[in-house]
Amino acid sequence: MRTAPGANVAAVGRALDAALARFPGVVVSGRGAFTAAQAGTLASQSDASLVLNGILLAYIMIAVVNSLVMATAARAREFALLRLIGVTRGQVRGMMRRETGAVVAAAIGIGTLAAVPPLVSVSAGVTGNLMPDVPPLEYLGIVAVVVALGWASIMIPARLAMRSRPA
């Protein structure tokens, strides 16, 4: 609220306090106090949102790794058959490296394409610019995590599946 030019601000504050005394919890404060309270509320909501997103991403990573490990482990008979017909362990591992590369490349490509529409819409709504501001190092970090998880969740079970003799 604004006071009239020349009004006694302290007297207006006392009158407001007296008028609002019958409403518990209602407080008269200045713009600075209101802005600080809002900033604190937004910061705590942002922290909670960050934690919830982290939990969601961890769940998704566990689900994806589990699916890749189980799908690769289920191919143990295929690996044994390949070895029985004369394919060496190195050739099977080479085949798995190429398959892993294709899976990881597809995951990065599809993940990037899936992220573009929401990033563009948020960027347009917040900044008015259609080009989202994604720091290159953060994107490369995400790609590195995808590569590491994909590689480990396919290549480790493939090596374990070929550890025993095929027959």
- Give tens-digit pLDDT for 83-128: 999 999 999 999 999 999 999 999 999 999 999 999 999 888 888 8
Alpha helices (H) along 74-163: 76-84, 89-126, 136-161
Tell me how far apart the alpha carbons of residues 163 and 157 are, in angstroms, rounded to a whole number.
Answer: 10
Q: Residue 79: what pLDDT?
A: 93
CB 64 within 8 A of CB 152: no
Q: The tokens 């009158």 sit on which residue?
A: 15
Residue type, 48: A
Tell me how far apart the alpha carbons of residues 29 and 32 are, in angstroms, rounded to a whole number.
Answer: 8
- Give tens-digit pLDDT for 71-81: 999 999 999 99
Tell me how far apart the alpha carbons of residues 144 and 157 are, in angstroms, rounded to a whole number.
Answer: 20
